[in-house]
Structure 1
Amino acid sequence: MAYQITSECISCNLCQSVCPTGAIKMDGDRPWIDPELCTNCVGTIHTVPQCKAGCPTSNGCVKVPSDYWEKWFNTYYPLVAKLTKKQDYWETWFNFYSQRFSDQLQKRQHQVA
Structure 2
Amino acid sequence: MTYKITSKCISCDLCLTVCPTGAIKVINGERWIDPNLCTNCVGSIHTVAQCAAGCPTCDGCVKEPLNYWDGWFDSYKKSIDKLTKKDNYWERWFNRYSKNYSQELKKKVVG
Report Cα offsets for 1:57-77 as digits up to 9, x if no partner.
Answer: 000000112254332234567
Q: Distance in 2 between matches of 1:67 and 1:26?
A: 25
Write the mapping of 1:46-61 to structure 2, written as runs, cut at 5 A.
46-61=46-61
Please tell me the residue identity of whatever aligns with 2:73.
F
Q: Percent identity?
A: 65
Q: Distance in 1 between matches of 2:12 and 2:69?
A: 33
Q: Unpaired segments of 5 or more residues in structure 2?
A: 80-111
Q: Distance in 2 between matches of 1:76 and 1:52?
A: 20
Other-structure match for 2:37: 37
**TM-score normalised over the length of structure 1:** 0.63
* Greater helix proportion: 1
Please tell me the residue identity of whatever aligns with 1:61.
C
Write the mapping of 1:68-79 to structure 2, written as runs, cut at 5 A.
68-74=68-74
Q: Distance in 2 between matches of 1:76 and 1:47?
A: 24
Structural RMSD (CA) = 3.6
Q: Unpaired segments of 5 or more residues in structure 1?
A: 79-113
Quick check: which has more Rg, 1 or 2?
A: 1
**TM-score normalised over the length of structure 2:** 0.64
